[in-house]
Structure 1
Amino acid sequence: MASLSGYVGAIRMDSPVMLAAGILGTTGASLRRAALSGAGAVVTKSVGVAEREGHRGPVVVQVEGGLLNAMGLPNPSYRSFQEEIDIGREGGVPVIASIFGATTSEFGEVATGLDADGFELNLSCPHAERFGAEVGCEACNVEEITRAVKRSVSVPVWVKLTPNVAEITALGLAAQRGGADGVVAINTLKAMAIDVESCRPILGNRFGGLSGPAIKAVAVKSVYDLAGALDIPVIGVGGISRWEDAAEMIMAGACGVQVGTALRKPEGYGIFRSISEGLAIYLDRKGMTLEELVGAARRFS
């Protein structure tokens, strides 16, 4: 069967199919289970400087085409999170810590306070005031924060980008100038759902971020544009639930993919292995290597 091993954003993996930040990753046990179920790497839930409870409920609602969530970045703070990373490492794959902050110094504090195999800078959460996309929608902030974290750690640094901007490639180029080892695209799209009986927004925060199959086409286009503009690797995320989705994202230019909302499917954690096996069988059938599949859509268009 075709090999899926290689480097994704300067991190060696046996499979390019990873656990995305947000859905799981709040406990070391969930990270370890994802790793043992076939994920090539696992990304933690985002952690910051201070403990946060997040938004009041409801925080998640199922909508047509995916999930709408407004968790509000609940986390125990990085000071209480190292043990979870260490437990996750028992799964035998790289553990990437997703981190957030309101300022450059907060990002630096969290990064230097954790021992992980890499960092994913959450500059894209659409529903947490003062964090995420509120910081990451400006290219100057992306560049400054990326450079600061990169200078303070000795492991790869990825930047997760928001799609809620006019031009995502400007943010990708800013991350590249800051020294990022890769960018991750995309985070959720701003969205809202209203209960027609009560006439009230369903989410406690009123609006949140849409994930799942409904955003896949947006993610594919974002990856395609970023891969054409950047010299650093692109990791694709958004709406991936089958090997065909992963192949499409890789053809757009992604060197790796992340899976999140699809873990709610009946196969659960088994989705990592099923996507990886499907990709390997596809590559064998096409007589291609994984490297040859990356960006194929641009070469054949």
Structure 2
Amino acid sequence: MLEIERDSPMKSRRLDFRDKVAVLTGAGSGIGRALALELAARGCHLAIADIREETLTAVAAELAQFPIRVSTHVLDVASREQVASFPARVLAAHPAVDLLFNNAGVAVGGHFLDTPEADYDWLFEINFHGVVRMTRAFLPGLLQRPDAHVVNTASLFSLIAPAGQTHYAASKFAVRAFSDALRHELERSTVGVSAVCPGGVATAIARSARFSPTLPAGAIEKQLERSRRLLRMPPERAAQIILRGVEKRSPRIIVGYDAWLGYLLERVLPTGYWSLMRNLTS
């Protein structure tokens, strides 16, 4: 069992990104891309990872304008073998790692009994087990740094659990719980932990989601259109909010008015918020 006995005076100060090294998964698009650009603008060196090489190459080209070190890594966070060997790949390009952003994620849409178990397994391997594996791989090194932080992307659906989100919400509740418990374990160390809870950010996650095969013709396109209407915050704005929260070492970073509304509804009506939400959106 990990025993940590020292206090950390660094946690009372604002986190400075300049000249730190950040590992960032899901960096090829959406919030991940925006985080990479915002971190680079703040002087943070980057090891960016994504499962798609072409998107990594495009983001790396955008990062070339900044005077920082950038390494790109094709990585499947669902692969135990790839994640286990990943720290060595990063340390071949950077002297150490100070920040870990576990941002890679996918979505599954559809009701519980209509969704294949294989889709559930696929989602959990990426959304939750990927976060756990990455943290296990990098945490020993982070604990050797004078000022380090782990940032796990959860979701509005780690605060509330609407119908049709049984799989996705479960994975994101797990990320938030893992983040909270890990933060408590590390409270006397030099490593902080934040859980990020974004609301409707304009990313491609809905377009790349898996949907129940029993959905009638046209239903998927209707769901995608509804997602386009709800996912409105620019990723660049989300990245600014996230890094402001990390800078303050906030344990929970809620992104967007809709996420704040969901958070407050769950606090006020912990078992009754769904009835209110259903009536408001019907």
TM-score bracket, shorter-length normalisation: 0.3 to 0.5
Larger Rg: 2
Q: TM-score of the superposition, structure 1-length normalised?
A: 0.34
Q: TM-score, normalised by structure 2?
A: 0.36
More helix by proportion, 1 or 2?
2
Q: Which has the higher strand share?
A: 1
